[in-house]
């Protein structure tokens, strides 16, 4: 039940929870019998050989992997609770993550600027996504990608999706971008510091340093360029930010019908169905919406959707096209707002008390 036309690069736990949410434990398919895994891999080998992957590579890699019951356990895990927006922001946009983001932005200053220039994506957004996905490369997931994907493809729950990802992962090895031993990722196959699924790797990963390998595991230049390219290819507007927090006027409820969407889009519907219609900032200003500090909104035609992640009584945000590019990375309003807030913190001077 993957609902995207293109899979997002990172299947976060929230997403896994969401995928699991409609099913009760009784409805989950039984854990497959590990005894059939070896014979099943023979079929994988045949298919991979037919698509041009070398026999030597397949012999070596397929002999080294096993059915991993831990992956099935993680896939079957039921959500225990859903974080509120406030709690999500407290746990994701931490002082530590911002402080580390400042350190890493300083350390990779020239590289982030060079990548930012090439792709038209401000380096603070690249750093913010890097920080959210893997805490700046320090938590990329230590699971063997081929073993995890083969286990999920052998399982019956989403076998077609994961078999396609498995084939894409074998192609990455066949093309020599990374060695088998270093091809690590999350249990669901999101790989390296940018947490790309293998099909996203083929579509978006970049070789920024020009060594012939697209190395999103160990090479910061390739990691940054891959994140930037993903955003650029999802309609990133280099001269815009992501959006802004706003204050709604008394009696704003009168506009609810006027700002409702005609029809939520098909892609990333889970997050976008919570958005208002896209209207120019000047229209929002005319409705009495103001900046978080009470200031006037810019009188421009920039299109913005209103997002209220904690419901009508909670904080309100006007979000631009770049916010939707962040949603394409990970279809969650909480995630996109956290990325925006970290990116803004990286722009601002640290508070004297910090």
Q: How far is the CB of 186 from Ca ion (least distance, A)?
A: 22
The residue nearest Ca ion at its CB is: 207
Does 211 bind Ca ion (CB under 5 A)? Our answer is yes
Does 209 bind Ca ion (CB under 5 A)? Our answer is yes
Q: How far is the CB of 208 from Ca ion (least distance, A)?
A: 6
Q: How far is the CB of 211 from Ca ion (least distance, A)?
A: 4
Does 274 bind Ca ion (CB under 5 A)? Our answer is no
**From CA 323, how far away is CA 45, in angstroms rounded?**
41
Q: How far is the CB of 206 from Ca ion (least distance, A)?
A: 8
Q: How far is the CB of 221 from Ca ion (least distance, A)?
A: 7
**From CA 251, how far away is CA 274, in angstroms rounded?**
20
Which is closer to Ca ion, CB of 205 or CB of 304?
Answer: 205
Exactly one of 47, 66, 207, 274 binds Ca ion (CB under 5 A); which one?
A: 207
Strand, helix or coil for residue 185: strand
Q: Residue 177: which of 226, 133, 130 has the closest Cα?
A: 226
Exactly one of 213, 232, 275, 324 binds Ca ion (CB under 5 A); which one?
A: 213
Sheet of 303-307: strand order equals 279-280, 303-307, 316-319, 243-247, 290-291
Are 222 and 212 in contact by the 8 Å Cβ rule? The answer is: no
Q: Going by DSSP bridges, is the β-strand pair 316-319/243-247 parallel, antiparallel, or unpaired?
A: antiparallel
C-alpha angle with apex 285: 282 to 287, nearest 5 degrees?
Answer: 115
Are 281 and 304 in contact by the 8 Å Cβ rule? The answer is: yes
Torsion of CA 214, 131, 342, 11, to 10 degrees: 80
- Count of residues binding Ca ion (CB under 5 A)? 6
Q: How far is the CB of 139 from Ca ion (least distance, A)?
A: 22
Strand, helix or coil for residue 233: helix
Q: How far is the CB of 225 from Ca ion (least distance, A)?
A: 9
Q: What region, left, alpha or beta, does residue 261 occupy, with left being phi > 0 and alpha being psi -120 to 50 degrees? A: beta
Choose one: 92-100, 182-190, 217-225, 340-348; the region binding Ca ion (CB under 5 A).
217-225
Q: Residue 122: which of 219, 228, 206, 208 has the closest Cα?
A: 228
Considering only residues 222 through 251, tell me which ones interact with Ca ion, judged by CB under 5 A: 222
351 φ/ψ angles, rounded to the nearest 5 degrees: -65, 145
Which is closer to Ca ion, CB of 223 or CB of 306?
Answer: 223
Choose one: 69-77, 158-166, 200-208, 298-306; the region binding Ca ion (CB under 5 A).
200-208
Which is closer to Ca ion, CB of 144 or CB of 222?
Answer: 222
**From CA 174, how far away is CA 13, in angstroms rounded?**
29
Choose one: 10-18, 123-131, 176-184, 213-221; the region binding Ca ion (CB under 5 A).
213-221
Q: How far is the CB of 28 from Ca ion (least distance, A)?
A: 40
Are 136 and 223 in contact by the 8 Å Cβ rule? The answer is: no
Q: How many CA atoms lie within 13 Å of 130's alpha carbon, on the beta-carbon side? A: 30
Choose one: 181-189, 193-201, 216-224, 278-286; the region binding Ca ion (CB under 5 A).
216-224
Choose one: 89-97, 138-146, 218-226, 284-292; the region binding Ca ion (CB under 5 A).
218-226
Q: Going by DSSP bridges, is the β-strand pair 303-307/316-319 parallel, antiparallel, or unpaired?
A: antiparallel
Which is closer to Ca ion, CB of 137 or CB of 147?
Answer: 137
Choose one: 29-37, 56-64, 86-94, 209-217; the region binding Ca ion (CB under 5 A).
209-217
Q: How far is the CB of 51 from Ca ion (least distance, A)?
A: 24
Q: Which residues bind Ca ion (CB under 5 A)?
A: 207, 209, 211, 213, 215, 222
């Amino acid at each position: 039940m993957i609902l995207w036309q293109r899979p997002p690069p990172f299947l976060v736990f929230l997403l896994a929870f969401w995928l699991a949410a409609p099913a009760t434990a009784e409805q989950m398919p039984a854990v497959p019998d590990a005894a059939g895994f070896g014979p099943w891999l023979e079929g994988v080998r045949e298919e991979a050989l037919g698509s041009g992957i070398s026999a030597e590579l397949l012999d070596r890699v397929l002999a080294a992997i096993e059915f991993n019951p831990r992956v099935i356990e993680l896939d079957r895990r039921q959500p225990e609770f859903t974080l509120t927006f406030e709690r999500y922001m407290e746990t994701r946009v931490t002082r530590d993550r911002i402080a580390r983001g400042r350190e890493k932005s300083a350390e990779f200053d020239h590289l982030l600027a060079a990548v930012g220039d090439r792709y038209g994506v401000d380096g603070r957004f690249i750093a913010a996504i890097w920080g959210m996905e893997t805490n700046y490369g320090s938590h990329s997931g230590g699971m063997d990608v081929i073993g995890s994907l083969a286990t999920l493809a052998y399982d019956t729950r989403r076998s077609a999706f994961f078999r396609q990802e498995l084939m894409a992962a074998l192609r990455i090895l066949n093309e020599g971008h990374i060695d088998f031993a270093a091809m690590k990722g999350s249990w669901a196959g999101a790989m390296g510091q940018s947490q790309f699924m293998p099909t996203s790797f083929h579509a978006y990963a970049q070789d920024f340093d020009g060594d012939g390998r697209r190395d999103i595991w160990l090479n910061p230049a390739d990691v940054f360029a891959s994140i930037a390219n993903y955003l650029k290819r999802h309609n990133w507007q280099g001269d815009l930010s992501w959006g802004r927090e706003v204050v709604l006027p008394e009696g704003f409820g009168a506009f609810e019908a006027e700002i409702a969407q005609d029809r939520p889009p098909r892609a990333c519907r889970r997050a976008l169905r919570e958005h208002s219609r896209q209207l120019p900032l000047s229209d929002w200003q005319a409705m009495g919406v103001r900046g978080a500090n009470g200031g006037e909104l810019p009188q421009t035609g920039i299109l913005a959707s209103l997002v209220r992640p904690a419901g009508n009584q909670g904080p309100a945000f006007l979000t631009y096209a770049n916010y939707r590019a962040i949603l394409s990375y990970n279809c969650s309003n909480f995630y996109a707002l956290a990325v925006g807030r970290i990116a803004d913190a990286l722009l601002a001077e640290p508070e004297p008390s910090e």
